[in-house]
C-alpha cells in the first residue's frame, strides 16, 4: 500500500513565495524615488563602518551615541564640502552659460586665433589631407560646448528649483546612514539568513560586495576627485576661465577608464602653445603629465591595497553602461554588478572543480580497493 504525499504544503509554499516576490517588488516600486539616497546611504555606511567599529570598541554600550558621532563625521567630511562646492559650481555653470549667450566666449575668435597661429606649412599639410577644415571643426566644437553648458545650466537651475526634493533625499540618506551604522551588522546577519545559499558562499559574496564598494570608492572616486582638484587648481593658477567647472569635468572623465582628465588639460595646453603662451603651456603640460597623470599610480595602491582589481575593459563597459542607465548612481552600480558577476562565476567554478576533484578522488579510492581485492584473491 502506497501513501500519497499531500500536495498542499508544496502549493502553499509556492503561493507564499509568490507573495514574498510580489511584496518585494512592491517595496522596490514604492522606494524607487529614493533609490539614489538609499544607494549612497549604503555606500557611505560601508565606507565609514571601520571608523564606527573603532568608536564602538571605545563605547560598546553607547550605540546611539557612536552612530551619531559617525554621522556627524559623514556630514563634516562629505556633505558640507559637497554642498559648498555644489553651490559654487552652479553659479559658475550659469555664469559660463550667460557668457556663451552674450558672446563673451567667442569660439569664432578663438579658432581664428588658432588658424592664424598655425604655420603656413602645417596649414598646407592639413589642407592636403582634408583635415584642415577648421571652420567645420569650429562649428562642431562650438555646438558641443554650447549644448553641454546649456544642459548643465538647465540641470543647475532644476536643482535650484527642486531644493525641497534635494533636501528631502539628503534627509532620507542621513537618516538611513544613522541606522545602517547602528544596526548594520544585525541587518547583514538577517539578510544572510534569508538567502538560500551555503554559508561559505554567502560569506564570499558579502565579502566581495563590501570589498568592491570600498575599492570603487577609494580607488576610483577618490582618485578622480584628487585629479579633478589638481586640474582645477592649475587652471585657476594659470588664470584659465571657469576652473571649478573644468575641475568637475576632469573628475567625471577621470572616472572613465581609457579616457581620463587629459582629454581636457591637453587640448588647453596645446591651445596655449599655439597662441604663444609657451610658459603656461609648458607648466600645464608638465603638471598634467608629472602630477595629475601620476596620481592614479601613486594613490590607488595606498587607498586600495590588495583589494579587488577587475580588468580595465570590464570597468570601462560597466561604468559607461551604468552611467547611461542610471546616471551618477551607475558609477557605483555598474562596477558592483560586474564584480558580483565575476565573483559568482568564480565561486561556481571553484565549487564545480571541488566536486569534480571529490569524484576523481572517490573513483581513485574505488579503483585502489578493487586492485587490492584482486591481488588478495
Reduce the secondary structure of 265-318 to three states and give it as a string.
HHHHHHHHHHCCCHHHHHHHHHHHHHHHHHHHHHHHHHHHCCCCCCCHHHHHHH
Domain residue limits at 91: 34-194
Domain end point (choices 154, 178, 194): 194
pLDDT reported for residue 125: 58
190 and 200 assigned to the same domain: no
Within a domain: residue 21?
A: no
53 and 161 assigned to the same domain: yes
Contact in structure between 65 and 59 (CB atoms under 8 Å)? yes
Within a domain: residue 130?
A: yes
pLDDT reported for residue 120: 64
pLDDT reported for residue 359: 52
**What is the domain count for the chain?**
2
Q: Is the pLDDT of residue 341 over 60?
A: yes
User: In terms of C-beta density within 10 A (0-12 exposed, 13-18 middle, 19 or more buried), how is residue 246 classed?
Assistant: buried
47 and 85 assigned to the same domain: yes
pLDDT tens column, 19-64: 888 888 898 889 888 888 888 898 888 888 888 989 888 888 888 8
What mean pLDDT value characterizes the chain?
75
pLDDT reported for residue 74: 92
pTM over 0.75? The answer is: no
Within a domain: residue 331?
A: yes
pLDDT reported for residue 370: 57
Q: Phi, psi (5° rounding) for residue 133?
A: -80, 80
pLDDT tens column, 285-333: 999 888 888 887 777 767 665 555 667 777 778 878 887 887 777 777 8
73 and 209 assigned to the same domain: no
Question: Where is pLDDT greater, at 245 or 350?
Answer: 245
296 and 308 assigned to the same domain: yes
Q: Is the pLDDT of residue 263 over 60?
A: yes
258 and 287 assigned to the same domain: yes
Contact in structure between 115 and 274 (CB atoms under 8 Å)? no
pLDDT reported for residue 19: 86
User: In terms of C-beta density within 10 A (0-12 exposed, 13-18 middle, 19 or more buried), how is residue 92 classed?
Assistant: buried
User: In terms of C-beta density within 10 A (0-12 exposed, 13-18 middle, 19 or more buried), how is residue 199 classed?
Assistant: exposed
pLDDT reported for residue 186: 83
User: In terms of C-beta density within 10 A (0-12 exposed, 13-18 middle, 19 or more buried), how is residue 111 classed?
Assistant: middle
Taking each helix axis as running N to C, give the angle between helix 262-274 and helix 107-117, from 0 to 180 degrees, rounded to the nearest 10: 60
Amino acid at each position: 500500500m502506497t501513501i500519497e504525499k499531500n500536495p498542499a504544503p508544496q502549493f502553499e509554499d509556492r503561493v507564499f513565495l509568490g507573495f514574498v516576490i510580489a511584496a518585494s517588488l512592491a517595496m522596490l516600486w514604492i522606494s524607487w524615488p529614493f533609490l539614489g539616497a538609499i544607494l549612497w546611504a549604503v555606500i557611505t555606511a560601508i565606507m565609514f563602518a571601520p571608523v564606527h567599529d573603532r568608536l564602538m570598541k571605545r563605547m560598546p554600550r553607547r550605540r546611539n551615541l557612536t552612530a551619531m558621532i559617525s554621522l556627524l563625521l559623514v556630514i563634516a567630511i562629505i556633505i558640507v564640502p559637497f554642498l559648498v562646492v555644489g553651490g559654487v559650481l552652479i553659479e559658475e555653470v550659469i555664469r559660463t552659460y550667460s557668457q556663451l549667450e552674450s558672446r563673451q566666449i567667442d569660439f569664432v575668435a578663438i579658432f581664428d586665433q588658432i588658424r592664424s597661429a598655425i604655420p603656413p606649412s602645417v596649414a598646407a599639410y592639413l589642407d592636403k589631407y582634408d583635415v584642415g577644415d577648421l571652420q567645420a571643426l569650429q562649428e562642431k566644437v562650438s555646438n558641443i560646448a554650447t549644448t553641454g553648458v546649456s544642459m548643465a545650466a538647465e540641470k543647475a537651475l532644476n536643482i535650484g528649483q527642486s531644493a525641497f526634493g534635494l533636501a528631502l533625499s539628503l534627509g532620507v540618506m542621513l537618516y538611513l546612514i544613522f541606522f545602517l551604522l547602528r544596526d548594520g551588522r544585525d541587518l547583514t546577519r538577517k539578510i544572510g539568513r534569508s538567502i538560500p545559499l551555503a554559508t561559505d558562499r554567502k560569506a564570499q559574496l558579502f565579502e566581495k560586495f563590501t570589498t568592491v564598494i570600498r575599492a570603487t570608492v577609494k580607488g576610483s572616486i577618490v582618485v578622480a576627485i584628487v585629479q579633478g582638484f589638481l586640474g582645477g587648481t592649475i587652471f585657476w593658477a594659470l588664470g584659465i576661465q571657469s576652473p571649478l567647472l573644468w575641475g568637475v569635468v576632469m573628475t567625471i572623465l577621470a572616472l572613465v577608464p581609457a579616457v581620463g582628465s587629459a582629454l581636457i588639460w591637453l587640448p588647453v595646453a596645446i591651445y596655449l602653445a599655439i597662441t604663444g603662451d609657451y610658459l603656461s603651456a609648458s607648466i600645464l603640460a608638465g603638471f598634467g603629465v608629472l602630477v595629475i597623470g601620476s596620481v592614479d599610480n601613486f594613490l590607488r595602491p595606498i587607498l586600495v591595497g590588495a583589494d579587488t582589481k577587475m580588468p580595465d575593459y570590464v570597468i570601462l563597459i560597466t561604468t559607461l553602461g551604468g552611467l547611461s542607465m542610471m546616471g551618477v548612481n551607475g558609477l557605483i552600480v555598474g562596477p558592483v554588478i560586474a564584480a558580483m558577476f565575476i565573483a559568482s562565476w568564480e565561486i561556481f567554478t571553484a565549487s564545480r572543480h571541488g566536486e569534480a576533484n571529490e569524484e576523481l578522488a572517490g573513483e581513485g579510492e574505488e579503483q585502489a580497493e578493487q586492485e587490492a581485492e584482486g591481488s588478495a584473491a
